[in-house]
Structure 1
Amino acid sequence: MDAIISVICYKSKTLANGEHPLMLRIAQNGKSTYKSLKISVAAKHWDFDKNVPKPNNPHKDLIQKIILKTKLDYQQRILEKKANKEEFTASSLINEQKEITKTQTVEEFYLFIIEELKQKGQIGTSYAYLNSYNTLRNFNKGKKLNYTFSHIDVSFCKKYEDWMRSKGNKDTTLSYQFRTLRAAYNRAIDAKIVCREKNPFIEYKLSHLNTKTMKRALSKADILKIINADCNGQSNLRKLTHDIFTFSYLCGGISFVDIANLTPNNIIENRLIYQRQKTHGSINLVLSEQAKQIIYQYSDYQQEAEYLFPILHCKRHITPMQKSNRVHKICHQVNTELRVFAQELGITAEVTTYVARHSFATILKKSGVNIGIISQALGHQDIKTTQIYLSKFDNEQVDEAMKNLL
């Protein structure tokens, strides 16, 4: 049975001012559920037969406007439920509507998320939301995001995409920004700040963005140029840059943030055992002699700072924010030095610490190592993630394979 929506003057209850409250009534299957409209009317100003304010009611126009808006709101919700083939009752409609009446702007909610993540020590994730927030502010011409999440619809997303493209951003950047915005929107839905039905990402799919990255792996010859380079007598930064890149390549493509957080406790019986900062997955790899030699060079620092590499220090970097800021700073310095280092060695490709991780995976693949083993060494939860790291076969490899046809 369809729900019947009406607004009545609830004469059974008399308020302190002598008036009666106006109530929304939703009747379904012989049962009625009520919700106060937070306004009241004197009995002499209400037509109880027609359920409307009398012409002599001094607030007639305002009351009629509130009644019309309330009834339309609930009728719309019923139509949406039916269209989506969702079950509902009179009680669920009213309780659901109560939850959704929380009003919070996109500005307020983003700042809340960022602060909450910082308090939980999830600094990297908080930076992702801060980046998204700042980009949205720029799109909004520097103004605060003083609109609700329902304002972010498919049209908004298309305009946002066009604006980012006009700034020269590629699909990979667009995908990153929209994935963060989508995550924020989902958080808003969970917080009952916006209706799930209004989610623009039901229609605006991110799959239309081309997120295939350019090849980031070096050839084995270029890798060996870096590893075999003699950095004795050069700056401490150059030495650290060489050691970090080499150690990452030799130790399963370990990421910079994971290297920074290694302590002597991660070395057990000539094996490197640690938990990834990003996914919290466990890694257990044998240490090569060259990797052990790199660690040994920093033994004095390890006794003082309680970390394997001179990036973090137990007495100076204590809070999650201090650690994150320090790692970010040193990673930037190392990557800047690594680019100069690579150019000096005649390597034309763009080289960063992350390239060591991609190179580790790609060179093992070309050597015939099973992708499942590579995936485990990288600490990936899914082989599909590993496949993103691995470049497509070179034309030469395909040409060579074609010779086997006849």
Structure 2
Amino acid sequence: MASVKVKFRPSTVSGREGTLYYQVIHNRVVRQINTDYKLFASEWNCHSEAVILHGIPNEQERNNYLLSISSRIKWDKDRLDKIIQTLSQSGTFVTDDIVMRFHDNRQEQSFNAYISQQIARLKRLGKIRTSETYTAALRSFCGFMNDKEVLFDQLNADLLTEYEAYLKGRGNTPNTISFYMRILKAVYNRAVEDGIAEQRHPFKAVYTGVEKTLKRAISLRDIKRIKGLDLSLNPNLDFACDMFLFGFYTRGMSFIDMAYLKKTDLKNGILSYRRRKTGQQLFIKWEKCMQEILDKYPENGTEYLLPIITERGEDYRKQYTNELHRVNHLLKKIGKQLDLSIPLTMYVGRHSWASIAKSQNVPISVISEGMGHDSENTTQIYLASLDTAVVDRANKKILDLL
């Protein structure tokens, strides 16, 4: 029976990354399959043939890269095992047959495996958030298929229509369904570009648009009500309220940008930060209301300004996501306490700042700059669903003329 081993080839240059390759052995004949997976000798366990992750939180980006290599190795080895099994069932074969099949096995690659490959690529590129959305779409699709592999020629309009019905049956909104479909469609189109699949337009019968979202902003009066709350007897609710208000005070700053604010970002009365979504550099005048929130909490033991990421020995991203879920859960309790018309979340604060600015006749260009949007078109789209009251009043004037 043929066997496959994963080997590490160190670089000939000291201090440089080496590469991994597969050693295929059959009937004592050895062949190599090279890869472009690069890592350092300290990141590879030659005995267990496994990637070694860094134990330091600051090395999270490197760990994401190493995890993607680990995923690709598993995927490659699964392919090689299937090739060997197929060749064994067909009769006699030589080692070169395995290598040839591996290099020319595109038509046998499943849609699921190709998505996993794209997730690994996104991690290597450092696009962690996008890789997470792709993972969510893959998980949903695999749930529909009961974890059964789907070949590209099996991916047709009928199957996707059934998947759409499955999502509706689970109570997913049209925008959520479209979210999954658009990701799967993007992966499929990339496979077509790579020559792995033939363009058969399997997504033509399912919804991939974006419905206008419900209003996600509250009024200035409601912001004042939130600010006026006395939550001193409930520190958890008080903290969630403070984070909401801080995001509003800082022109609708997103929670991820708040979490990664560093103490060194606040200098000479100016808070400067770079948006993690767009990379745009923003500057905010530091106001008394912002300092009052900061003064309520002991100085963070990390390099970060706010008490969101507080532990040095833990995954920073995990701390941020856990805190976001916790704060949003607590904010919804506050919203119910105030009998707000919509669920209160951190994102509502961002929408509310834009909506209130618009109601005060602040120019779109100024709102766009304040929120760190990359164009006014983005802001126009953003504001389109925030408040329909102006349109309703205009319509009433017209109807009153009848």
Q: Which category describes the TM-score, using the shorter chain as reference length?
A: 0.5 to 0.7
Aligned to 1:111: 116
Aligned to 1:159: 162
Aligned to 1:381: 374
Aligned to 1:275: 274
Give secondary structure in 1 for the equivalent of 2:184. helix
Whether contact under 8 Å (1:362, 1:389) holds in the other structure is no
| CA–CA separation in structure 1 for the residues paired with 2:374 and 2:104 | 36
Alignment of structure 1 residues 3-402 onto 2, 5 Å: 101=106, 103-140=108-145, 142-144=146-148, 146-195=149-198, 197-201=199-203, 203=204, 206=207, 209-235=209-235, 237-298=236-297, 300-302=298-300, 304-313=301-310, 315-317=312-314, 322-390=315-383, 391-394=386-389, 397-398=393-394
Q: Quick one: percent identity of the two aligned structures? A: 29
| CA–CA separation in structure 1 for the residues paired with 2:248 and 2:193 | 41
Encode CA deviations 1:158-216: one digit per residue, 9 max, x unaligned. 23222222222221111111121122223323443223x33535x45756x45210001
Encode CA deviations 1:369-389: one digit per residue, 9 max, x unaligned. 111211121112233332333
- Runs of 4+ with deviation above 4 angstroms: 98-102, 203-207, 399-405
Whether contact under 8 Å (2:271, 2:286) holds in the other structure is yes
Encode CA deviations 1:21-46: one digit per residue, 9 max, x unaligned. xxxxxxxxxxxxxxxxxxxxxxxxxx
Alignment gaps of 5+ in structure 2: 1-102
Report the CA distance shift for 1:198/1:288 in structure 2 as closer, same or farther (over 3 A): same
Offset, 1:282: 2.2
Report the CA distance shift for 1:362/1:324 in structure 2 as closer, same or farther (over 3 A): same
TM-score by length of 2: 0.67
Deviates more, 1:98-107 or 1:237-246: 98-107
Give secondary structure in 1 for the equivalent of 2:282. strand
Whether contact under 8 Å (1:311, 1:326) holds in the other structure is yes
| CA–CA separation in structure 1 for the residues paired with 2:106 and 2:233 | 67
Offset, 1:228: 2.2
Offset, 1:280: 1.9
Q: Which amino acid aligns with 2:147?
A: K
| CA–CA separation in structure 1 for the residues paired with 2:324 and 2:359 | 29
Give secondary structure in 2 for the equivalent of 1:285. strand
| CA–CA separation in structure 2 for the residues paired with 1:404 and 1:289 | 47
Deviates more, 1:373-382 or 1:392-401: 392-401
| CA–CA separation in structure 1 for the residues paired with 2:376 and 2:164 | 30
TM-score by length of 1: 0.66
| CA–CA separation in structure 1 for the residues paired with 2:139 and 2:376 | 34
Q: Which amino acid aligns with 2:290?
A: A
| CA–CA separation in structure 1 for the residues paired with 2:396 and 2:136 | 46
Whether contact under 8 Å (1:99, 1:192) holds in the other structure is no
Alignment gaps of 5+ in structure 1: 1-97
Give secondary structure in 1 for the equivalent of 2:185. helix
Encode CA deviations 1:73-117: one digit per residue, 9 max, x unaligned. xxxxxxxxxxxxxxxxxxxxxxxxx98945321222222233343
Give secondary structure in 1 for the equivalent of 2:108. coil
Offset, 1:329: 0.9
Q: Which amino acid aligns with 1:143?
A: D
Report the CA distance shift for 1:292/1:401 in structure 2 as closer, same or farther (over 3 A): farther
Encode CA deviations 1:350-397: one digit per residue, 9 max, x unaligned. 111110011111111111111121112111223333233322431663
Offset, 1:139: 1.5
When Rg is computed on C-alpha atoms for both structures, the one with the higher figure is: 1
Q: Which amino acid aligns with 1:200?
A: P
Aligned to 1:78: none
Whether contact under 8 Å (2:334, 2:344) holds in the other structure is no
Q: Which amino acid aligns with 2:130?
A: T
| CA–CA separation in structure 2 for the residues paired with 1:248 and 1:212 | 24
Q: Which amino acid aligns with 1:158?
A: T
Encode CA deviations 1:303-335: one digit per residue, 9 max, x unaligned. x21111112136224xxxx22222111111111
| CA–CA separation in structure 1 for the residues paired with 2:125 and 2:307 | 26
Q: Which amino acid aligns with 1:398?
A: A
Report the CA distance shift for 1:353/1:200 in structure 2 as closer, same or farther (over 3 A): same
Report the CA distance shift for 1:200/1:264 in structure 2 as closer, same or farther (over 3 A): same
Give secondary structure in 2 for the equivalent of 1:309. coil
Whether contact under 8 Å (1:175, 1:211) holds in the other structure is no
